[in-house]
Each structure stands twice: as structure tokens, then as C-alpha cells.
Amino acid sequence: MNSPDAQRPTPAPHEPERRRYPRYTVQVQIEIRPEGTDVPMRLETTDLSRGGCYIQLMIPLPVGLRLHATLWLDGCPAVIRGLVVTCHPQFGNGIMFVDFEGDAELLLNRYLDAIVT
């Protein structure tokens, strides 16, 4: 005979958060150019953090693709090199920021700090 205790499911362990930085739901103009092409795609972010962003695309880019991105933060361009790290068919891509050009990192930090305060 089965006791009620034997039927209880074991709670799943919580996975630790993998992100290094908090993510904010914010729409920011972004222009991306996959490496090797001169054709820009003009989109908006759905999420943004100090470490990357998420963009919606019906036909997403492949994981591992390197790209150049320009975020327009309060009218100022922040030029960033990125890497596609997630791909969700018919939805979009997660992009990790790899390198910041000029004062792009400072512009991004100021923009995100203003959201929080």
C-alpha cells in the first residue's frame, strides 16, 4: 500500500542565476550589422543589461555570429561588438556584449543607472 508521503514530488533544486548583471525591460533603438556585411538591421531591444541585450527577430541570427551593434542611448550612439548567444526561432536573439568602442561602456552604464534611480 502506498502512503501519501511516498507520492509527494521532490521539489526541483533552484538553478543559480547565470547573468552577471541585472536585466531591464526597456526598448532602445539598436542597429546591428553581422560581421562581413554592410547591411544594417534597425531594431529595438526588449531587454538590456550591462552585459548584453535581447532583440526580437522573426528569423533570428545563428548562435556564434559576431556582430557590430550601435545602441542609441538618449540620442548618443554607443558602438559595441557583440556575439549572438541564444536563438529562439520566430522570436529573437540574446546578444552578449564583447567589447565597447570609445565611451560606449560609460554611456551604457549612465543610461542604466538612470533607469534604476
For residue 58, the 8-state DSSP code is S
Is residue 58 in a domain?
yes
Average pLDDT over residues 41-53: 96
How confident is the model at residue 116, as a pLDDT? 79
Is residue 86 in a domain?
yes
Is residue 87 in a domain?
yes
Average pLDDT over residues 24-33: 96
Higher pLDDT, 10 or 85: 85
How confident is the model at residue 27, as a pLDDT? 96
Is residue 7 in a domain?
no
Residue range(s) defining the domain that contains residue 39 = 21-116
Say if strands 66-73 and 52-56 run parallel, antiparallel, or are unpaired: unpaired
Say if strands 92-100 and 52-56 run parallel, antiparallel, or are unpaired: antiparallel
Q: Is the pTM of this model over 0.85?
A: no
